Structure 1
Amino acid sequence: MAIYKTEKGWRADFSFKDGTGKYRKKSKRGFRTKKEAEAWIAEYSVSHSSPNLKKGSQLLFSDYFAEYTELRFGAGLKESSRESWISTKDHIVNVYFKGLTLDQITRNTYQTFLNHYSQGLRRASVVKRHQIIKQVIMQAFHDGLIQIDPTYGVTIPGSESKSAEEKFIQVDEFNKLIDYIESSEKLVKWNTSFMIYLVALSGLRAGEALALTRSDVNVDEHTITVSKTKQRSGVSTAPKTKSSMRTLVMPARFFENYQTFVSAKTKWNDRLELFDGRITSDQNNIWLKKVEKQLHFENIVSLHGLRHSHVSYLLSKGVDINYASKRLGHSNTMITQKVYAHLLREKQESEELKTLNILDKI
């Protein structure tokens, strides 16, 4: 078996014994990549009953994953999806599957990976990575490179997600957090705390807040326009969905503090981004959780949980769910109803009591 580069691509030579015991040689050239040549040899060896070669034994899973990823990118993927694939390749495939060929990934191997990777993670996070890896393995299975699907029937471990009630802070805690920031000029001027203040009053996604520029904030009209979102690569792209393109009205109290925040900044980047090109909300989450513990909040939530809390607050005050859904940038109200089902049930129970009281007085 030999694979080498020629002027017209890659060439593969495969030697084998025929039925009479004589050695034969099969060659093929013109492969675009070395991996294509390796795949051809693997397939040809199986068809000629070579006892020590299998289709998947010549291909490292990491190489196959990388090649499949490039094909996916070529077909067009959103920036956020590209980041998920790259992260899976760098932090999972190249770590947990390092040096393994396709045929060496058995169900036991794969389940062992899931058990180790899931330590300290939510099950939902493990599922996201599993779905990407499974997609590549299934492609190898359908290509005939492996004889079984090692992801079939595996158990996805990981801790359960928070209950719906645990994803929000209480109404009084919501007010306390806003008051805590507003009462300190230092916190109003600081990028980290002002962004938390912004999310609390707007319900923006973290990426949408990070991508905001001065031109997105209309002080005269008291609005913020959402037209982009920040990716971990540092690139600002179109928002998650078409409905995410929106203009939000903001309270007067926000703009009073916004003017203080803007006036305190002595340096801006070329795009005039409010938060100086920051690409993640990690620092915000660390500070927010620290403050929540300091203020003795019942639930400790992330910046995304603060977005949930924003809508929770609005719904508790009787704001219509259709408006709340548009403010969040959801593509339809069904998404909003699913996320905030427990709040809507509470509201329904409250409305039922009102109805009974009205009918009892007839």
Structure 2
Amino acid sequence: MSKSSIRKEYFWKYYLEWMKTYKDGAVADCTYKKYVSTQGWIRKLLLNTTVGALDRGKYQKMINQYAKYHEKQTTTDFHHQVKACVRDMLYEGYIDRDPTWNVVVKGKPHKKKHEKFLQVDEYKKLIQNLDLSHPIDWNWAILLIAKTGLRFAEMLAITPADFDFKRRCLTVDKTWDYRSPIGGFKKTKTITSNRAISLDWQILGMFKPQIENLPKDEPIFVKKCEAGHYKRVFNATLNQRLFTLCKQQGISHISIHGLRHTHASVLLANGVSINAISERLGHANVSITQEVYAHVLDELRVKDDQKIMAVMMEVS
């Protein structure tokens, strides 16, 4: 198509073709679904706007309308997905100016959702009362998450080959596609999610006899049925197991993701640096860790202030 023809094409149609050409198969399925959602909103908010007619005013109004129904971070993500297409349009010469320049991103107030986590004594009680007398089962999975802070999909993808008993660490370089009926290994959430997590000698000693006779490259927590297919695993199953354990032991009820938070909170409370914890959790950057654990950091700052005052009193 000529440039003049493309300039007359509806922007939502152009975005649809752009999305299929540059994103389909190049990004994770969950990410592509977000592009599909973005395209739907563009069609809704800029139905009769052509490529050539897209200017800063129309773009800003679209962002403002989207922001009425979404939080600022979600609106920012939407803006970035649209802007990627617009920048390509500018590069190709279909538009003369960048309509996304200096856009103001708004959004609904952020609802803070602090995932519940266990106190240190509850955390210890949970681990100490796990029934590990059976071969690898969900109790072992709960133990591993409690000791490493693994994400659910990362835990499911762990194989015997991922345990390095000499270096005393666990390699995380894949996840398990538990949302798919057939399962299978997938890439990690981000590049920084690929990491080696240090393990204490005690947990290594506990896992070694459990996994030494298992297939080296098969997931230890996902079983196969008689037909040779992997059995479907659901997040809710493990959450229910953890809920039952918490209830039996009289401690706070948390989810598996809450157990990941507990792992990080315990490390923070014991003086481990935010940078080290961020790397251990596989966060894309430290700011994410700081945002997620702001409530814990605030508590630690209060304690630090008290220590500072005590030191100043001693030297006065």
TM-score normalised by L of structure 1 = 0.58
Instruction: Say if 2:84 is the partner of 1:135.
Output: yes
| 2:170 match | 225
Letter in 1 for 2:73: A
The secondary structure found in structure 1 opposite 2:50 is: helix
Shift of 1:174: 2.6
1:171-190 equivalences in 2 (<5 Å) = 171-179=120-128, 182-183=130-131, 189-190=136-137
Instruction: Say if 2:212 is the partner of 1:272.
Output: no
Shift of 1:331: 7.4
- Asked whether the equivalents of residues 161 and 217 of structure 2 are also in contact (C-alpha less than 8 Å), the reply is no
Instruction: Say if 2:280 is the partner of 1:317.
Output: no
- State the alpha-carbon separation in 2 of the partners of residues 97 and 279 from structure 1: 37
Instruction: Say if 2:50 is the partner of 1:103.
Output: yes
The secondary structure found in structure 1 opposite 2:190 is: coil
Instruction: Say if 2:37 is the partner of 1:88.
Output: no
Shift of 1:248: 1.4
Structure 1 residues 176, 146: closer, same or farther in 2, change over 3 A?
farther
One of 212, 235, 239 as aligned partner of 2:158:
212
- State the alpha-carbon separation in 2 of the partners of residues 337 and 109 from structure 1: 32
Shift of 1:230: 1.9
- State the alpha-carbon separation in 2 of the partners of residues 334 and 89 from structure 1: 25
- Asked whether the equivalents of residues 156 and 176 of structure 2 are also in contact (C-alpha less than 8 Å), the reply is no
Shift of 1:299: 7.7
- State the alpha-carbon separation in 1 of the partners of residues 98 and 280 from structure 2: 47
Structure 1 residues 358, 144: closer, same or farther in 2, change over 3 A?
closer
- State the alpha-carbon separation in 2 of the partners of residues 243 and 159 from structure 1: 26
- Asked whether the equivalents of residues 195 and 282 of structure 2 are also in contact (C-alpha less than 8 Å), the reply is yes
- Asked whether the equivalents of residues 193 and 281 of structure 2 are also in contact (C-alpha less than 8 Å), the reply is no
| 1:197 match | 143
Q: How many residues align?
A: 293
- Asked whether the equivalents of residues 86 and 98 of structure 2 are also in contact (C-alpha less than 8 Å), the reply is no
Residue by residue, what CA displacement relative to the aligned partner does 1:163-210 show, whole Å, maximum 9, x if unpaired?
A: 5xx564432343344345x13757x7434x543331211122444323
Q: Which structure is richer in relative contact order (CA contacts within 8 A, separation 6 or more)?
A: 2
Letter in 1 for 2:195: M
Letter in 2 for 1:67: W
Instruction: Say if 2:16 is the partner of 1:42.
Output: no
Structure 1 residues 360, 61: closer, same or farther in 2, change over 3 A?
closer
- Structure 2 unmatched runs, 5+: 223-229
Structure 1 residues 144, 125: closer, same or farther in 2, change over 3 A?
same
- State the alpha-carbon separation in 1 of the partners of residues 256 and 269 from structure 2: 20
Structure 1 residues 128, 250: closer, same or farther in 2, change over 3 A?
farther
| 1:156 match | 107
Shift of 1:249: 1.5
The secondary structure found in structure 2 opposite 1:103 is: coil
- State the alpha-carbon separation in 2 of the partners of residues 248 and 283 from structure 1: 28
| 1:249 match | 199
- Asked whether the equivalents of residues 10 and 48 of structure 2 are also in contact (C-alpha less than 8 Å), the reply is yes
Structure 1 residues 214, 293: closer, same or farther in 2, change over 3 A?
closer
- Asked whether the equivalents of residues 11 and 50 of structure 2 are also in contact (C-alpha less than 8 Å), the reply is no
Structure 1 residues 148, 197: closer, same or farther in 2, change over 3 A?
same
Which structure shows the bigger proportion of residues in strand conformation? 1
Residue by residue, what CA displacement relative to the aligned partner does 1:251-309 show, whole Å, maximum 9, x if unpaired?
A: 5256536755x5998xx6x9312233789874467537855985786685552x43232
TM-score normalised by L of structure 2 = 0.64
Cα RMSD over matched residues?
Answer: 4.9
- State the alpha-carbon separation in 1 of the partners of residues 67 and 288 from structure 2: 29
| 2:190 match | 240
